[in-house]
Amino acid sequence: MTGTPTTGAGNAPGTPDRPGAVPPFAAVSGAQVQRVLRGRERQLVRLVEDTYRLHGDGHTLNPPSCFLRFPDRPDSRIIALPASLGGPRPVDGLKWISSFPRNVAAGIPRASAVLILNDPATGYPYACLESSVISATRTAASAAAAADRLSRGRPRPRRAGFFGAGLIARYVHTFLTATGWRFEATGVYDVSAESADGFRTYLERQGEPDADHTGTAPGGRITLHTDPERLIRTSDLVVFATVAARPHVVDPAWFAHHPLVLHISLRDLAPEIVLASANFVDDVEHCLKADTSPHLAEQRTGRRDFIDGTLADVLAGRVRVPEDRTVIFSPFGLGVLDLAVGDFVHGEIARSGELHVIDDFFHELRRYG
């Protein structure tokens, strides 16, 4: 890499004055990504909602994700999410994201990712962005949008419970509080006591803890739970952000108080819980595959009518969210959201003049040499 700065266009490298031109190729670091995204939570939630609307109106292509699995490492996987986003800022691309849970024991994050952006005019890739932050951001922005939209018409949750205390939980909490959520109490449960304690430390850092260090902070009382049932029963907003491969929460009675559930990790809930609840997803076809909890419910019943709608349906007012049932949002995670956030990052960095272009990345450009 030369580190050559450029002020190229944000998302349309094939500019009108140079139609068909091969775009320059840039690498965008995680540090640059974080600088662009930090403090823009409200703007990013609006961006994600706009992308859901485009998806709901048929202005995207989001083919099935491809899972690369390893017989000798069954708990690990790498996923390819190809997508194409239409609308006013069209972009094509691919997210390539790995999940290696054993990394945590080695002191490095479970997930790593890159995002490739392709020019719709030529098909040439024009950027490779570090994407673990982009992926966490779009996941958290989606969760915050769902929490807001699915709680309208219901008593607004005041007690949050985080089931799983890793990076995604932290990002979801950050987006919730940055978009106006305030909790009287926050509960934390994780099979790793170290992870739960680390998340509590993060929560306390959101404000100055009380002088007596009783486990409270301006955002409300913080409780570390050792009993998952107790966490769920004492929370009216439950966030599942685990690495569970199969359901481990099986008793519908735990949800008798009808909380709002952000089922980010997709595979925590037994089919009985799904079938007893109102269910909203980001995309029906995507969510009902790969042995997600909704997919297991479909396999159990042979039907899909337990899905009440998509978040795009809620945004458009096509469906009503019930007040007297547990409401579960199960987002499979759409590649078009990564494209929207990645394109936003690329555009901001290009406009700042800090885009680092790799000179001669595309070298053999003459058809006959």
* Structural domains of the chain in order of their starting residue, each with its CATH number: 4-135+335-357 (3.30.1780.10), 140-330 (3.40.50.720)
- Mean pLDDT for the chain? 91
> Averaged over 25-36, what is the pLDDT?
97
Least confident of 106-115, 203-212, 315-324, 354-363: 203-212
Can you give the pLDDT at residue 13? 57
- The answer to which of 20-29, 121-130, 206-215, 347-356 has the lowest mean pLDDT is 206-215
User: For residues 236 and 7, which has the higher predicted lDDT (pLDDT)?
Assistant: 236
pLDDT of residue 220: 84
pLDDT at residue 12, rounded to an integer: 47
Cα end-to-end span (Å), the chain: 25
Is pTM beyond 0.85 here?
Answer: yes
pLDDT at 9: 39
Asked if pLDDT for residue 85 goes beyond 90, the answer is yes
219 — pLDDT class (breaks 50, 70, 90):
low
The structure tokens listed for 340 are 């929207």
Q: Does residue 98 have a pLDDT over 50?
A: yes
Per-residue pLDDT at 10 exceeds 60: no
Q: In the chain, how many H helices and how many E strands?
A: 11, 18
Question: In 3D, which of 85, 89, 251, 225 has the Cα closest to residue 160?
Answer: 225
Q: What are 263-303's pLDDT values in tens digits?
A: 999 999 999 999 999 999 999 999 999 999 999 999 999 99
Burial of 282 (0-12, 13-18, 19+ CB in 10 A): buried
Pairwise CA distance, residues 51 & 55, whole Å: 6
pLDDT in tens, 339-358: 999 999 999 999 999 999 99
Percent of the chain with pLDDT over 70: 91
pLDDT the model gives residue 256: 98
pLDDT reading at 79 higher than 50: yes
